[in-house]
Amino acid sequence: MDIAQRIAGTVDARADLPVLEIGPGTGVLTQFLSQRDRELKVVEIDTESVAYLHENYPSLDVIEGDFLKMDLHEVFDGRQFVLTGNYPYNISSQIFFKMLENKELVPCCTGMLQREVAQRICSGPGNKDYGILSVFIQAWYDTEYLFTVDENVFDPPPKVKSAVIRLTRNTRATLGCNEKLFRKVVKCTFGMRRKMLRNSLRQVYERDVPLPADCPYPDKRPEQLSVEDFIRLTDMIEGK
């Protein structure tokens, strides 16, 4: 219960917004979120869990469905909201990509997920965990690794540790570069993360990329580049 209370407390960073919880199950986290004086909705795909929630939380607004297929503009009539939950490990990355597609609606996202994914999201350049998910999320959000959750607090215990994070929308309104090309460059270079960029970038166009002579990146590997570096690299590639 202590862990659920702590997770519920993470949403208070934006106490002015309604909350959407993903995958409430039997309401372990929901019971503490519902104690807050704010609008709360939950989305649950499992029919048995939906029935349990209706029976035990009769005043709770339960949306039965798949979060990944929802139109998030319809949840709170186009208003912004805080996204939270004990995220299913098998779809946590998909949840965050969905968040990125709706980043103007989700200025704050918190919750518990597999520790390895949390580390990837929050890691910076030069770290072995830094990768595609790190760059895409950090382009639009400030990331906080709040605390680790030991597997022994669960019954039965999972085989992996968990972690709680918070993502807060930064002030960036636009990347200032071709965003489609930016995503392609990031995916392509991390797809061959052991190669220097001069080699991996050839795969973007299936030929040599004529970067400016003063470009500082050809001999680097992708994990050495910050979000800002990837933005500049994208501009250089598009310019040529």
For 150-183, write each residue's pLDDT tens digit. Answer: 876 666 666 788 999 999 999 999 999 999 999 9
- CATH 1.10.8 domain extents, the chain: 179-239
Residue 19 pLDDT class (50, 70, 90 cuts): very high
Distance from C-alpha of 126 to C-alpha of 18, rounded to nearest angstrom: 37
Q: Which fold has domain 179-239?
A: Helicase, Ruva Protein; domain 3 (1.10.8)
Residue 198 pLDDT class (50, 70, 90 cuts): confident
pLDDT at 106: 98
Task: Give yes or no for residue 1 having a pLDDT over 60.
Answer: no
pLDDT at 138: 98
Q: Residues 112, 162: contact at Cβ < 8 Å?
A: yes
Task: Give yes or no for residue 109 having a pLDDT over 70.
Answer: yes
The pLDDT of 84-92, averaged and rounded, is: 93
Q: What is the CATH number of domain 2-169?
A: 3.40.50.150
pLDDT at 210: 61
Distance from C-alpha of 239 to C-alpha of 211, rounded to nearest angstrom: 9
Residue that the structure tokens 């349990």 belong to = 52
pTM of the model: 0.92
Residue 91 pLDDT class (50, 70, 90 cuts): very high
Residue 109's H or E segment, with its range, is strand 108-114
- CATH 3.40.50.150 domain extents, the chain: 2-169
- Percent of the chain at pLDDT exceeding 70: 92
Distance from C-alpha of 110 to C-alpha of 143, rounded to nearest angstrom: 10
